[in-house]
Structure 1
Amino acid sequence: MSSSQKFGPHLRLIGMAILWGASWPAGRVIAQNMPPLAAASLRFLLAATVLLPWMYWAGGFAGLRAWNRRRWLGMAVAGAAGVFGYAAFFLMGLKQVPAGKAALLITLNPVVTLALAVWIFGERINRTIAAGMAVAAAGAVVVISRGRPLEILQGAVGPGEILILGCVACWVAYTLLGRWVMTGVDALSATAVTSTMGALMLLSASLLVEGPAGLAGAMHGNLQAWTALLFLAFGATALAYAWYFDGVKALGAGAASGYITLVPVLGVLFSALLLGESIDASMVIGGAMAVLGTTLMNWGRRPAA
């Protein structure tokens, strides 16, 4: 095996983590300069100009003929949760919450997903995974409460944090829906179809809520905002997904998902470097707990020798 074959998938997965980490400060820039629904719709419409041709060249269009009404309806629901809902909460939340803090809150994704999978599907977990879930959840609480967890009981969670938690809820719904509606569908086709459906939903919502002025405002955004938007569309969406699919194919889903642990750390670092955001003690402690927890969860999933 050549060195490129051996290390190539790992390098691409590191690239994926870098792109997804950088998506948080990019989203913050967009949220401060563009109407959120219009910007989100443009992001996924632009991404679709890459994903749909890629799907066509991969032969995915032929499989669409076999999809029944239930499959199409399931894809629409998945697109509503994983693209429309997530993207809307993402930019609306980043309008109010620093990008680094938001990136750390997303570490709740695997924790909540697995907890619901245990409850709904009866999925089994071991003590290592359970310990990882507890540590990651505790870390997220530290970040949300700015190091004062008891204040959460007194309602001291801001609207921005609630919107980012909406991202978590949408992504968890998208992941769990996948067990029902995406069985037998390749990852590229699922991503291309749900992204396109979600983009159309976002465009419709933008026109209804923000009006034509919202889309016009996004189109006339400044150079910094458009640079961030193009990065999200082609870098953090199309290219990052391509590298992630390649990593899953070469190394397996478990190994590839381990690289996602790097995303919140990189999100905090890029937000500090690019936007000058401060990193307080609660973010360091809570972030370390969250990353340690997700690492334990991934470790617990490793098959026994």
Structure 2
Amino acid sequence: MHSRMTPSTAILLTIPPLLWAGNAVVGRIVHTWVPPMTLNFLRWAIALVILLPFASFIFRRGSGLWTSWRRFGLLGLLGVGLYNSLQYLALQSSTPINVTLVAASMPVWMLLIGALFFHTRVTGKEIVGAILSIAGVLLVLSRGDWHQLLAMRLVAGDIFMILATISWSFYSWLLTQPKDPKEIRGNWAAFLLVQVIYGLMWSGVFVAGEWALGDAKIFWSWPLVAALLFVAVGPAVIAYRCWGTGVQRAGPGIASFFSNLTPLFAAVMSSAFLGELPHLYHVIAFGLIVGGIVISSKR
């Protein structure tokens, strides 16, 4: 049973989109410096080192790492292994505006997957909330000009991002299934670490394929090191910690509307980097997205 939306839960669910917007920007910046599967593997390897001091007890015999290997193997595949690998792969061939536009379909996928696979009922409020929220995202991505949306075409990267969004929807729903051993469910670091361990196994397979089948190269530099540290600490450890707790409190259906704040934050970051002032459509879009969150989360 999910609790009513509270200010603390809203904050928990707002932090990840902010960090994920930074992740999309950084992922695009470094896409010629490091291959996408390798970027994802390095990111989570650093996160593993960060988490180890907080939850090394999970390696004990009989812990949930071993007893619940099917569940955490699946969570690791969907959340750590697939989602970000596909997102970084999408950024190789697609523009950030297309990638964020495709990711804006998250509430729709959440509602569909919840109804089809997790036996949840879709309410009229959630449908209205989804429409409002996506309208806000489209307004930002079109920069107030609908002709820009009509001119866009899907490329391979957009297909990868659709698959990533579906993967994340399944991941978020599985988070709500109360099947975790007590010592792991009550410890955020342990809960994330077991996912990272299995996720790195999957990611390692993807990296092996990337280097065996392609012409993979890494161009090391201090900016790349700084980028790796950022995506490991912020969008990985901190964002997943906040998202996991927020989803368990509010439910994945409502949480998915907060993910639509990501392209809004990305637009604001772009404005800041380019020295542009926010426009009226930013304000209207913010109102639509927040309106979608409020309507869908009302009990």
How would you bin the TM-score normalised by the shorter chain?
A: 0.7 to 0.9
Q: Say if 2:107 is the partner of 1:105.
A: no
Q: Post-superposition shift, 1:159?
A: 1.4
| Equivalences for residues 10-29 of structure 1 within 5 A | 16-29=16-29
Match of 1:157 in 2: 154
What is the Cα deviation at residue 124 of structure 1?
A: 2.2
1:4-153 equivalences in 2 (<5 Å): 16-56=16-56, 65=63, 71-136=68-133, 146-148=148-150
Q: How far apart are residue 174 of structure 1 and its match?
A: 1.6
Counterparts of 1:247-286 in structure 2, within 5 Å, are: 252-253=249-250, 257=255, 260-274=259-273
- Let me know the Cα RMSD of the aligned residues: 4.1
Partner of 1:205: 206
Q: Tell me the distance in 2 between the aligned counterparts of 1:66 and 1:33.
A: 37
TM-score (normalizing by structure 2): 0.74
Q: Structure 1, unaligned stretches of length 5 or more?
A: 1-5
1:299 corresponds in structure 2 to 295
Tell me: CA distance 1:110–1:11, structure 2 relative to 1, closer, same or farther (3 Å): closer
Indicate the SS of the match to 1:167: helix
- The total of aligned residue pairs comes to 280
Say whether the 8 Å CA contact 1:41–1:200 is kept in structure 2: no
Matches of 2:213 and 2:117 in 1, distance apart?
42
Corresponding letter in the other structure for 1:20:
W
Aligned 8 A contact 2:175 2:244 in 1: no
Q: Provide the C-alpha distance between the structure 1 equivalents of 2:61 and 2:21, rounded to a whole number of angstroms.
A: 33
CA distance in 2, matches of 1:9, 1:248: 9
Cα distance in 2 for residues equivalent to 1:175 and 1:106: 14
What is the alpha-carbon distance in structure 2 between the residues aligned to residue 11 and residue 116 of structure 1? 25
Identity of aligned residues (%): 19
Using the TM superposition, give the Cα deviation of residue 232 of structure 1 relative to its aligned residue in structure 2, in angstroms: 0.1
CA distance in 1, matches of 2:294, 2:174: 21
* TM-score, length-scaled by structure 1: 0.72
Matched residue of 1:33: which SS?
coil
Letter in 2 for 1:170: S
* Distance (Å, rounded) in 1 between the aligned partners of 2:161 and 2:288: 21
8 A Cα contact 1:105 1:164, kept in partner: yes
